[in-house]
Amino acid sequence: MKLDSIRAAEAKLLLNTYERSPLLFVRGEGVHLIDENGDRYLDLLSGIGVNALGYGHPAVVDTIAEQSKKLVHISNLFFHEGQAELALRLTEKSGMDRAFFCNSGTEAMEAALKLARAHAGKKRCEGKALGTKILALEHSFHGRTMGSVAATHKEKYREPFAPVMPGVEFVRFDDVTDLKAKFSNEVCAILLEAIQGEGGIRPVSQQFIQAARELTQSTGALLIVDEIQAGLARTGKWFAYQHYRIQPDVITIAKPLAGGLPLGAMLCREEAAQAIHPGMHGTTFGGGPLACAVAIAVIDAIEKEHLLDHINKVGSHFRQQLESLKQKHSAITAVRGLGLMLAIEIDSADLAKTALGEMTKRRILINRTSETVLRFLPPYVIQKQHVDEAIAALDETFTEHSPAYAGEHAHTQGGTKIG
Ligand SMILES: *Cc1c(COP(=O)(O)O)cnc(C)c1O
């Protein structure tokens, strides 16, 4: 098997950053991935929310072919046809005014953090008292570079690299009282995910996001919403914050933006944008002609194929089916999420891990975040029959490995360790 030799070579040659699943995928078709043996897997993870149109979608494939013949890279020293056109689509959908393009989620966050600091600096020059502190939430995930990792809650991501960017304080998740206690005019931005992704698919409440909006408005600080995982149609609206009655000052997007090519963006309102002048921030690769052309094609496909409607329909079917599973299996303690950003909470980390393995055996790809949460981030083009296939596999898994069943079948492997 090719997998074994690649695995051995990687163990020797790559920085030891990932614990990969022992699978070698060689191509994809629609919502399926095909491994080196020709086995087909139903992909409910889409490269962590990136492959929004699945695999081999003509909007992605044909646009890459056509644009790559014309121009792949030009640098930000020159104009090209894509950035303003993509910015127009994104600002229209978000109610923002301006875009900055980069290559990844964490870079979009860096742009947002730098904007927040520059904006506060500008306000100070105008005589306003505004500090440099940033409030982020417990269980947040914003990326791995020194700025965004400083705003990422998990200590094991930050601590080995100390000192990361100073000035971040964490607020208890969805706790308005804690937010109010920690807010002051020392704060230049509140940073949050409307639905926490890596933190376990947890939506914040209307009350919390509204408090964050009102507090920042009262001092001139910025409200930054990280839409890197939840944004761009995944939750059944263009942006997750649109499920709430607020408008942020800044949003960051990335994962599904260019259908699998690396592209990120920070979108902001005019007032905040005024803090940035030529030379203050930039990137060599960000917003290149190829990535922009594909992103435009992805957005057009979402519209032409009415995928927002589709996500709402398939997503609510998926959610209902997960709710029924929860009724049936006591090991499932909660169902969370919106659209095609869904999760179930499992009452033990061991069982969650076992279930993940069982699903992989059944050739269905999902993943686990924060130990006890099984997450579903399927491609937007997933159909009802794929959802039903996944639900049947989950049902089987939890029947075989549920605590009640383990009593009767104590000899079966995995069944005994739960309880
Ligand atoms: C993935 C993710 C990031 C980081 O994106 P990268 O492209 O991996 O740098 C930031 N915020 C959220 C909410 C994410 O899900």
| CA 377–ligand 1 middle distance (angstroms) | 14
Report the pLDDT value the prediction gives residue 419, as an integer from 0 to 100.
Answer: 29
pLDDT, tens digit, 9 for 90 and up, residues 290-340: 999 999 999 999 999 999 999 999 999 999 999 999 999 999 999 999 999
253-259 mean pLDDT: 98
| CA 229–ligand 1 middle distance (angstroms) | 7
Provide the edge-to-edge strand list for the sheet that holds 40-43: 25-29, 32-35, 40-43, 364-365
Closest atom of ligand 1 relative to the 107 alpha carbon: 9
In whole angstroms, what is the distance from residue 149 CA to residue 107 CA?
11
pLDDT, tens digit, 9 for 90 and up, residues 90-105: 999 999 999 999 999 9
Report whether pLDDT(414) > 80: no
Mutate to test the pocket of ligand 1, among 48, 106, 139 (most ligand atoms within 8 A of CB): 106
In whole angstroms, what is the distance from residue 113 CA to residue 250 CA?
10
Angle at 320 between CA 317 and CA 321, to 5 degrees: 85
**Percentage of residues in the chain having pLDDT higher than 70:** 96
| CA 235–ligand 1 middle distance (angstroms) | 16
| CA 266–ligand 1 middle distance (angstroms) | 13
Can you state the percent helix, strand and coil of the chain, rounding each to 5? 40, 20, 40
| CA 392–ligand 1 middle distance (angstroms) | 31
Provide CATH 3.40.640.10 ranges for the chain: 71-304
75-86 mean pLDDT: 98
Confidence of residue 408 (pLDDT cuts 50, 70, 90): very low
Report whether pLDDT(415) > 70: no
Architecture (CATH level 2) of domain 2-56+306-404: Alpha-Beta Complex (3.90)
Architecture (CATH level 2) of domain 71-304: 3-Layer(aba) Sandwich (3.40)
Average pLDDT, the chain: 95
**Residue with CA closest to ligand 1 atom 6:** 105
CB proximity list for 393: less than 8 A, separation 6 or greater: 358, 359, 362, 364
| CA 124–ligand 1 middle distance (angstroms) | 31
Q: Which DSSP string corresponds to 290-329?
A: HHHHHHHHHHHHHHHTTHHHHHHHHHHHHHHHHHHHHHH-
pLDDT, tens digit, 9 for 90 and up, residues 137-187: 999 999 999 999 999 999 999 999 999 999 999 999 999 999 999 999 999
Report the pLDDT value the prediction gives residue 370, as an integer from 0 to 100.
Answer: 86
CB-based pocket (< 6 A), ligand 1:
104-106, 109, 141-143, 193, 197-198, 226, 228-229, 254-255
Q: Which DSSP string corresponds to 85-153?
A: HHHHHHHHHHT--EEEEESSHHHHHHHHHHHHHHHHHHHHHTT-----EEEEETT----SSTTTTTT--
**Percentage of residues in the chain having pLDDT higher than 90:** 95
Q: Which residue has the tokens 């839409």?
A: 227
Provide CATH 3.90.1150.10 ranges for the chain: 2-56+306-404
